[in-house]
Chain A
Amino acid sequence: MAVDAASEPKVTRIRRRKAARLTLRDRLAVILMLGVPLLFVVGLIWLPTLLSVVLSFTSWDGIGGIDTIEWVGTRNYQQIVEIYPPFWPAFRHNLYWLGFLALVPTTFGLLLAYLLDKKIRGTRVYQSIFFMPVVLSLAVIGFIWQLVYAPEQGLINNILGTTEQGNLIDWLGNPQLNLWAVLVATAWRHAGYIMVLYLAGLKSVDPALREAAAIDGASEWHAFRTVVFPAMKPINIVVLVVTVIEALRAFDIVYVINRGRNGLELLSILVTDNIIGEASRVGYGSALAVILLVIALVPIITFVARTFGDEW
């Protein structure tokens, strides 16, 4: 606190006046209350983030000491984009992940919220059912859906009658298919989450707006599209941010199913491979992390600007 005060003299004056009302004991309390949590978030999140950026321009096998770190400029980035085979598939899969989450479960969650927001019978029960997958860990969801997708013993193939050698559908083993199969499992969880957010959003829409539209004779769909949906703009932004971030974070479910290979490559998997994989390439892994960071900054800045912009 005292450090950045020195660099901004104008602010210091105001702060000192405010701080003067605090006794020494109070000031000590404030420093502890802010300082200890700050230590965690700066030391374990922002410092490593910064180090990721720095290390991404270096080459290091992680075995030799810090003095063996070699500065290589943008070589890691060049190699990733040009010759690292899984990069573009992983990048594409993350894009599909985002596109799918944004189009399918998000729309479905909105539809569920819209239907359940009306005071229909059993709305609580429906809400609980659709929300239940949200409390499960993605690792457990991976196991549950492996049982559903299992080639010979799984629910889906047995219902479709595709369990014989000739017509067997290998949902999780076929690289043309498995990403979409996993996305369905992810959607199972995401839709419930979105539903809850939109249920809150719909409650916040002034009912007078809807009634005005209804009195004007607008159809339900028209009223929703032109009145209700635009009125939920704050929630729409949160939903968008949540969806983008979920798509970038995607990891657990794929890792549980096949460690992210054979059609299920994701950027997050590539980062992890370069740490706990056989070849520990710190610079490479960091460069991949920075690519993730740059993409993640878009939703993060959107969210921060919307939330804190007017308080600045």
Chain B
Amino acid sequence: MSSRTASTALPRAIRRPALGRPRFGVHAFLVVAALFWLAPLLWTLYTSLRPYSETAEHGYVSLPRTLTFDNYTNAWTQADMPHYFLNSLLITVPAVLIVLFFAACVAFVVTRLSLRFNVAMLIVFVAANLLPPQVVLTPLYRMYLEIPLPTFLSENGKMYDSIVGLIAINIAFQLGFCTFVLSNYMKTIPQSLNDAARVDGAGVVRQFFGIILPLCRPALAALATLEFTFIYNDFLWAVVLIQSGAKRPITSALANLEGVFFTDNNLIAAGSMLAALPTLIVFALLQRHFISGLTLGASKG
């Protein structure tokens, strides 16, 4: 941040030499690259808006005669998409809220209270986030079959094949990243704030909720955006830990959709666009948070 302001403050004449080349080539390159980048999405969008009969007759690369949202309404109803969207929502929202809260708790303890095992504790969380999920998969699958849950949380009384189980593993896996980002962020908050609060007689809980958590709002917003997409986009956990198709979130349910409509690319295109829509909307509205979350994760506090 500070370096950016420094560079804009410099007189233009000094900056010129390095930037003096004609920009035409750069723009031409970027335009071509951008078109290549948009092509797959635009192709999917175009396919999704055309009736199957038309593409069957004239081919997929042809001028449109009619554009319609029929594929969307068909995918929506035939593939029971509202149901899977609801599942995604039921998994993603609690998982994001809980992971942010837990991560904030851990980050608070390791950065604001000077305990001796802080760094070791951080490593336990952060390293866990870097493991490939397959490393834990086999025993986890067995554990999920064994761990009992009360029937109001899981119909079959097990962690396996339950939404609660899926939430739990998403929380465990995302905790490391969130803890890392939040602890880097909290390190930048002056320690004197805690000391002052302590003198005033505020306990740990009040320091956490009253002082530190509100100050972390920007980092929490960035993480919420990022975690929403990470957890919403999860595919592996849902494929392995959920058995009944009806409990799947939308991304993994989409894999079944292909079986149902395997000849109808137009419907698959519409289904894919629908499944991508929530993250695309979040990105369009909250791009700034999204990018600052990734950047915070890559930098050291």
Query: Which residues of A are interface residues toward B (Cβ below 8 A)?
Result: 1, 4, 11, 14-15, 18-19, 22-23, 25-26, 29-30, 32-34, 36-38, 40-49, 51-52, 55, 62, 112, 115-116, 118, 120-122, 126, 128-133, 135-140, 143-148, 150, 153-155, 158-159, 185, 188, 193, 196-197, 200-201, 203-207, 210-211, 213-215, 220, 223, 234-235, 238, 241, 245, 248-249, 251-252, 255-256, 267-268, 271-272, 274-276, 282, 285-286, 288-290, 292-293, 296, 299-300, 303-304, 307-308, 311-312
Can you spell out 14 A-B residue pairs with CB atoms less than 8 angstroms apart? A34-B105, A37-B179, A41-B128, A44-B173, A115-B26, A122-B30, A132-B283, A139-B252, A196-B295, A234-B299, A241-B130, A289-B136, A289-B137, A307-B126
* Residues of B close to A241: CB separation below 8 A: 130
Contact-size category for B: 35 or more
A150-B271 Cα distance, complex, nearest whole Å = 17
* Residues of A close to B176: CB separation below 8 A: 41
Check if B138 sits within 8 Å of A289, measured CB to CB. yes
Q: Known contacts A129-B38, A155-B61, A197-B298; decide if A143 and B208 are in contact (CB<8 Å).
A: no
Check if B173 sits within 8 Å of A129, measured CB to CB. no
Check if A158 sits within 8 Å of B235, measured CB to CB. no
Q: Known contacts A45-B172, A147-B43; decide if A15 and B115 are in contact (CB<8 Å).
A: yes
Check if A52 sits within 8 Å of B175, measured CB to CB. no
B59 within 8 A of A: yes
Residue in B122, B208, B280 whose beta carbon sits within 8 Å of that of A308 in the complex: B122
Most chain B beta-carbon neighbours within 10 Å: one of A22, A36, A144, A159: A144
* Residues of B close to A201: CB separation below 8 A: 298
Closest CB in chain B relative to A110 CB, distance in Å: 13
Most chain A beta-carbon neighbours within 10 Å: one of B39, B132, B137, B233: B132
Residue of B nearest to A51 (CB): B139
A293-B125 Cα distance, complex, nearest whole Å = 16
Give 1 or 0 for each of B169-188: 1 = CB within 8 Å of chain A CB.
10111011001000000000
B87 within 8 A of A: no
Residue in B47, B137, B229, B279 whose beta carbon sits within 8 Å of that of A275 in the complex: B137
B223 within 8 A of A: no
A238-B297 Cα distance, complex, nearest whole Å = 9
B246 within 8 A of A: no
Check if B130 sits within 8 Å of A62, measured CB to CB. no
Query: Which residues of B are interface residues toward A (Cβ below 8 A)?
Result: 1, 3-4, 6-7, 10, 14-15, 17-19, 21, 23, 26-27, 29-30, 33-34, 37-41, 43-44, 47, 55, 59-61, 102-103, 105-106, 108-109, 113-117, 119, 121-128, 130-143, 168-169, 171-173, 175-176, 179, 203-205, 208, 229, 232-236, 239-240, 251-252, 254-255, 258, 265, 268-269, 271-272, 275-276, 279-280, 282-283, 287, 290-291, 294-295, 298-300
* Residues of A close to B131: CB separation below 8 A: 45, 49, 293, 296, 300
Q: Known contacts A118-B19, A275-B141, A300-B127; decide if A30 and B134 are in contact (CB<8 Å).
A: no
Residue in A51, A115, A139, A154 whose beta carbon sits within 8 Å of that of B30 in the complex: A115
* Residues of A close to B169: CB separation below 8 A: 44
* Residues of B close to A215: CB separation below 8 A: 17
Residue in A18, A55, A159 whose beta carbon sits within 8 Å of that of B114 in the complex: A18
Closest CB in chain A relative to B108 CB, distance in Å: 7
Q: A-B pairs with the 4 shortest C-beta distances?
A: A137-B233, A51-B139, A33-B105, A48-B136
Closest CB in chain A relative to B123 CB, distance in Å: 6
A116-B172 Cα distance, complex, nearest whole Å = 36
* Residues of A close to B283: CB separation below 8 A: 131-132, 135
Check if B276 sits within 8 Å of A140, measured CB to CB. yes
Other than A44-B143, A204-B299, give 7 A-B pairs with Cβ distance below 8 A: A23-B203, A137-B232, A147-B269, A155-B43, A158-B61, A276-B141, A292-B135
Closest CB in chain B relative to A120 CB, distance in Å: 6
Closest CB in chain B relative to A214 CB, distance in Å: 4
Check if A153 sits within 8 Å of B59, measured CB to CB. yes
Check if A153 sits within 8 Å of B136, measured CB to CB. no
A24-B80 Cα distance, complex, nearest whole Å = 53
Q: Known contacts A30-B204, A148-B40, A153-B60; decide if A137 and B121 are in contact (CB<8 Å).
A: no
Check if A139 sits within 8 Å of B125, measured CB to CB. no
Check if B127 sits within 8 Å of A307, measured CB to CB. no
* Residues of B close to A129: CB separation below 8 A: 34, 37-38
Residue in B124, B130, B205, B232 whose beta carbon sits within 8 Å of that of A300 in the complex: B130
Check if A48 sits within 8 Å of B3, measured CB to CB. no
Check if A144 sits within 8 Å of B30, measured CB to CB. no
A29-B9 Cα distance, complex, nearest whole Å = 47
Q: Known contacts A33-B106, A137-B275, A300-B127; decide if A155 and B282 are in contact (CB<8 Å).
A: no
Most chain B beta-carbon neighbours within 10 Å: one of A46, A135, A311: A135
Check if B3 sits within 8 Å of A286, measured CB to CB. no
Q: Known contacts A44-B172, A46-B128, A139-B251; decide if A200 and B298 are in contact (CB<8 Å).
A: yes
Check if B3 sits within 8 Å of A203, measured CB to CB. yes
A135-B121 Cα distance, complex, nearest whole Å = 30
Check if A220 sits within 8 Å of B204, measured CB to CB. no
Q: Known contacts A135-B280, A159-B61; decide if A120 and B27 are in contact (CB<8 Å).
A: yes
